[in-house]
Structure 1
Amino acid sequence: MTKDLIALTPKMPDPLTLLVGLHAGGPGTRATATADGAVVQLLGAGGRPLVSVESPVLVQVPGEVDRLLGPRSAAAAPVPVWWTETRASSAVPEAEPLAGSVVGRLAHLLGGTVWPPGAGRTGVVPVEGEPGGGGTEGTTAIVAEDPLPAVDVVTESTVVVLADRPVVPLTAWLSEVLRTTAARGSALQIVTPAHCRLSHHLRTALTGPPNRWVVQHPDCGYYDGLTGAVLGWRDGTFAVVPDAAGGSAPAAPYRPAGPTGERQLAVSFRTAYPPEAELLLGRSLELAWRTLTGAPPAGWGTAEPINLPWSPRQLTDLARARMPEPTFVTAVGDPGRPALATVRITRTTAGVEEDVTLTVGYGEGEGVPLDAVQDLAGALADGEHGLISLLATLRPARRDLTAPPVFEAPPVPLAFTLGPEGVLETTLTHARRPPLALRPVQLGPEARPALHYPLGDGTHAEAWHALDVLLTHLRRRAAV
């Protein structure tokens, strides 16, 4: 597996310190910048990439080190802390100790620590010899000018990234790899051992084939960590291996275990705003966070680790700077109540829209605030936030919101809310009378109401059928 090594330092790695780290390979290596200068690569003979070093990130959000690296690293590196991530190539034996020397030198000079513990060193790691050997048939080497720095395998159809860490996050580097592979029509396949989990954000980004999470298990080879399908390497990609009956029975390690009592509450909603100069984005997300958890978001960013303290003003400034292109950001909550959100901000002909999905984790014995969903829908429908629609779901899944390579039950709808504009388009009379045994609740101003449809308590999958009937009923009138 490719090795990820991270230097956690209380001081920013300045250019001189970085230079000392980059000289860990001695005269046999040279450095070059890729990804618009965001990644520095150490190259060996023939230009073969050995180690990539990402730009240092100042993490100011409590709980982020613990969430991604565990409590031991969090105790050794209290925030604020500079996070410098490196990746060692799997193709060259000297790459891993070279990466260890890079991060070890940074930690030694700046008084920090290294993850994984014990991986840091300070000596020179000589790199000699011409490239060759250690490759995979049918793959190509990545050169410095390639738009995919530090990936492990490239074929005509697929880019493979190997990872081995407790939680694999959607880092700035991996986000760029995902964007680039999509642009070139390739699949991204992330290969990990069975003990790894994906962060909630990476799980969301891997939307299914051709992208995959490939889990390597000692008992059964490879399987898809999100579907359980048994996989094999064929024609330059990981593909489903049919069973004897021609089907695709899930691998044994993927099969569900017993209930744990942990659950995840998710609310997905869209809001629309006129393009006013004083518009402040992120307010609907903050309202949802306060309603469901009692506190605002703790931090936000464009990749993991989430590094910036929560600030609607900074979020708005970023979205304005990127328009007319959309802006995609993530947010995290206080570590005492696991909560994560994704926000997509889009410029439309009518103004600005926010698409938000907020997920909150609850452990065994912790009550899920189901009544707060209607309170949130009412607050978003008051006219200030321009609610378009809201869907709330509940499912049994990990409290920490990470994705393990085992089966987790799909979410079940709790409630749906149609915003004032949708009610107006559908007509209040029609929207009040779905062909279901439920009574919608009118929310918001009397003149421009929203309608809230309770669908159950999140324990019966029949709620999906009820939601389908409801949406079909609403669309039928809107299309007239």
Structure 2
Amino acid sequence: MTRDVIALTAAPPDRATFLAGLFSGGPDLRLDTTAESAVTQLCAPDGRPLVAIEASALVRVPDEVRRLLGVASAGPVWWTEARASTAVPEAYVLARSFAGRLVTVLGGTVWPPDALTTDVVPLRTDIAAVPVPDTGIPAVDVLTPRALVVMQDRPVVPLSTWLADALRHAADTDRALQLVTPPASRLTLPLRTALRGLPHRWVVRDERRGLYDGLSGVRLRWRGGIFGPDLDERGSSRLVDPFREPGAEAVRQLVLQVRTRHHPDAGLMLGGALEAVFRRLTGAAPQGWGTAEPAGNPWSRRQLTELARARAPRPTLLTIVGAGALATARVLRTREGVEEDVTVVGGVGAAGEGSGAGSDAMGPDAVEGVARELHAGHGLLSLLASYRTGRADLTVPARFEPPPVPVRLVVPEHSARTGAGLPAPVRLGAGVEAARLYRLGDGSDAVAAWRALERLTGEGAGRASPGPGAGPGAGTGSGAG
């Protein structure tokens, strides 16, 4: 397992300051670079990595520091992250000393707050007795023919650049990314979304109760170079007790899944639907965006479009943050045009509050306003709005959370269904671009809402995409399969 230390500095580390930090282990340690020089490694004399340090990134959205680290930030900061191997005891102190030297010279803070030190850390461990993890990927702790295993020990685990790179490598090599954390860790929604779908897994390592899947509660074991279900004598998966334990006080959340399509002309500007959703639901445009977390770039549709155009035809995955809401987006060039798949999650109110109030900024009436605006001006293909119960900070704990309850559905007119027992649709627009909006309820009757959705989309199809944080058996992709 690795332990992370982050230096938040007012100025970017220059070469001299960076080298002063690297010499926290004295002159005998070696330096190496990986990931096209984006990662610097502090290595033992025999070459085995002790601390990996990512290139500094400017975070110009102060709320991102608070969201991910719980640290207040008055303005933009330079984020320099170091990952220390726990195989060698001195490695974590080396990472702390590296970060401490940066903030001593440049000003700033170190996370975790108790990690600050500037001491020289001589290497005393018998390195010859320490196994060398032969992964070749800085973020990966164990590499097998079937899996990339990443171990993280922090309260909130984001979709960092490290993990985003590991996910890409897993996809390129047809492997699973399996994230191992302590039971108290929580995932951000972007990371939870990225891990959705087998064979990727969130593996919780509980010292007393063993291994289990943090999204489904299924007991796990390590076999054949990958974590999989630990089945009982009948071949059935087993749920662990910690997964059933109640978590922190929950709030009602709105989950809005939107797909839009645009003609790929030279004047196309992406992000319009995202901005419209944020303005409708939160009263303001998004604050920041990025390809990983922290999403430290100030909101800019132009820059977002330039990045997606440069990456085409490869898809571009994005995280978007704002006041009280968080979104993930996937931009993909298809034969029909440029499509944006967007999932926006926002906090609505205390769990159990009625969701039909027209004054609610994220109530069903507001959702219908979003649907009409996106259909009129942003190439809306489909929309599914649901309510779910989750944490107020939008992080995902390793606890059971009820699956979302659908409340509104928009589909193209040619895909619409009518007939006895189906909700009466509302027509949006006219002609070949027309769509139908279905009212599935106000979120208070989950059974009726899911039955209506299944009848509208085909038997069982409604459960194929229930939104982030759904419970076991509801499309999480982390069950017993």
Q: TM-score, normalised by structure 2?
A: 0.89
Which secondary structure state, in structure 1, belongs to the residue aligned with residue 122 of structure 2? coil
Q: Equivalents in 2 of 1:198, 1:9: separation in Å?
A: 25
Q: Equivalents in 2 of 1:325, 1:85: separation in Å?
A: 28
1:268 is aligned to 2:226: no
Q: What residue is the counterpart of 1:228 in the other structure?
A: 217
Sort the Cα spacing of 1:120 and 1:416 in 2 relative to 1 into closer, same or farther, 3 A.
same
Sort the Cα spacing of 1:78 and 1:466 in 2 relative to 1 into closer, same or farther, 3 A.
same
2:453 pairs, out of 450, 453, 467, with: 467
Q: What residue is the counterpart of 1:206 in the other structure?
A: 195
Q: What residue is the counterpart of 2:468 in the other structure?
A: none
Q: What residue is the counterpart of 1:36 in the other structure?
A: 36
Q: Equivalents in 2 of 1:35, 1:285: separation in Å?
A: 32
Q: What residue is the counterpart of 2:357 in the other structure?
A: none
1:236-265: CA deviation from partner (whole Å, max 9, x where unpaired): 332222245542221111005289451221
1:328 pairs, out of 308, 317, 338, with: 317
- Compare 309-318 and 448-457 and name the one that shifted more: 448-457
Deviation at 1:29, TM superposition (A): 1.3
1:344 is aligned to 2:330: yes
1:278-427 map, 5 Å: 278-334=267-323, 337=324, 339-364=325-350, 367=360, 368-382=362-376, 384-418=377-411, 422-423=412-413, 425-426=414-415
Unaligned runs of 5+ in 1: 476-480
Aligned residue pair count: 451
Which secondary structure state, in structure 1, belongs to the residue aligned with residue 110 of structure 2? strand
Which secondary structure state, in structure 2, belongs to the residue aligned with residue 376 of structure 1? helix
2:443 pairs, out of 424, 449, 458, with: 458
Q: What residue is the counterpart of 2:466 in the other structure?
A: none
Deviation at 1:166, TM superposition (A): 1.4
Task: Assess if the C-alpha contact under 8 Å between 2:417 and 2:456 holds in 1.
Answer: no
Q: What residue is the counterpart of 2:81 in the other structure?
A: 85
Name the Cα RMSD after superposition: 2.1
Q: Equivalents in 2 of 1:259, 1:190: separation in Å?
A: 23
Sort the Cα spacing of 1:434 and 1:386 in 2 relative to 1 into closer, same or farther, 3 A.
farther
Sort the Cα spacing of 1:134 and 1:233 in 2 relative to 1 into closer, same or farther, 3 A.
farther
Deviation at 1:82, TM superposition (A): 0.8
Task: Assess if the C-alpha contact under 8 Å between 1:328 and 1:345 holds in 2.
Answer: yes
Sort the Cα spacing of 1:185 and 1:78 in 2 relative to 1 into closer, same or farther, 3 A.
same
1:253 is aligned to 2:242: yes
Which secondary structure state, in structure 2, belongs to the residue aligned with residue 46 of structure 1? coil
1:163 is aligned to 2:155: no
Which secondary structure state, in structure 2, belongs to the residue aligned with residue 27 of structure 1? coil
Q: Percent identity, please.
A: 51
Task: Assess if the C-alpha contact under 8 Å between 2:252 and 2:389 holds in 1.
Answer: yes
1:255-305: CA deviation from partner (whole Å, max 9, x where unpaired): 052894512211111111112222111011101111112111111011001
Sort the Cα spacing of 1:110 and 1:449 in 2 relative to 1 into closer, same or farther, 3 A.
same
Sort the Cα spacing of 1:432 and 1:212 in 2 relative to 1 into closer, same or farther, 3 A.
closer
Q: Equivalents in 1 of 2:250, 2:177: separation in Å?
A: 33
Unaligned runs of 5+ in 2: 354-359, 462-481
Sort the Cα spacing of 1:268 and 1:176 in 2 relative to 1 into closer, same or farther, 3 A.
same
Q: What residue is the counterpart of 1:478 in the other structure?
A: none
Task: Assess if the C-alpha contact under 8 Å between 1:435 and 1:469 holds in 2.
Answer: no
Sort the Cα spacing of 1:80 and 1:212 in 2 relative to 1 into closer, same or farther, 3 A.
same
Which secondary structure state, in structure 1, belongs to the residue aligned with residue 62 of structure 2? coil
Q: What residue is the counterpart of 2:133 in the other structure?
A: 141
- Compare 48-57 and 20-29 and name the one that shifted more: 20-29
2:120 pairs, out of 119, 124, 143, with: 124
- Compare 150-159 and 90-99 and name the one that shifted more: 150-159
1:442 pairs, out of 411, 417, 427, with: 427
Q: Equivalents in 2 of 1:292, 1:239: separation in Å?
A: 40
Task: Assess if the C-alpha contact under 8 Å between 2:59 and 2:295 holds in 1.
Answer: yes
1:180 is aligned to 2:169: yes
Q: Equivalents in 1 of 2:127, 2:207: separation in Å?
A: 30
Sort the Cα spacing of 1:259 and 1:49 in 2 relative to 1 into closer, same or farther, 3 A.
closer
Task: Assess if the C-alpha contact under 8 Å between 1:44 and 1:128 holds in 2.
Answer: no
- Compare 255-264 and 91-100 and name the one that shifted more: 255-264
Sort the Cα spacing of 1:352 and 1:437 in 2 relative to 1 into closer, same or farther, 3 A.
closer
Sort the Cα spacing of 1:374 and 1:99 in 2 relative to 1 into closer, same or farther, 3 A.
same
Which secondary structure state, in structure 2, belongs to the residue aligned with residue 91 of structure 1? coil
Which secondary structure state, in structure 2, belongs to the residue aligned with residue 409 of structure 1? coil
AA of the residue aligned to 2:109: T
Q: Equivalents in 2 of 1:446, 1:324: separation in Å?
A: 31
Sort the Cα spacing of 1:172 and 1:196 in 2 relative to 1 into closer, same or farther, 3 A.
same
Q: Equivalents in 1 of 2:321, 2:248: separation in Å?
A: 26
Q: Equivalents in 2 of 1:78, 1:258: separation in Å?
A: 31
Deviation at 1:130, TM superposition (A): 6.5
Q: Equivalents in 2 of 1:326, 1:128: separation in Å?
A: 47
AA of the residue aligned to 1:376: V
Which secondary structure state, in structure 1, belongs to the residue aligned with residue 332 of structure 2? strand
Sort the Cα spacing of 1:20 and 1:391 in 2 relative to 1 into closer, same or farther, 3 A.
same
Q: Equivalents in 1 of 2:145, 2:437: separation in Å?
A: 49
Sort the Cα spacing of 1:352 and 1:208 in 2 relative to 1 into closer, same or farther, 3 A.
closer
Q: Equivalents in 2 of 1:447, 1:129: separation in Å?
A: 71
Sort the Cα spacing of 1:273 and 1:86 in 2 relative to 1 into closer, same or farther, 3 A.
same
1:107 is aligned to 2:107: no
Q: TM-score, normalised by structure 1?
A: 0.89
Task: Assess if the C-alpha contact under 8 Å between 1:42 and 1:51 holds in 2.
Answer: yes
Sort the Cα spacing of 1:259 and 1:289 in 2 relative to 1 into closer, same or farther, 3 A.
same
Which secondary structure state, in structure 2, belongs to the residue aligned with residue 204 of structure 1? helix
Q: What residue is the counterpart of 1:97 in the other structure?
A: 93
AA of the residue aligned to 2:78: W
Deviation at 1:231, TM superposition (A): 1.9
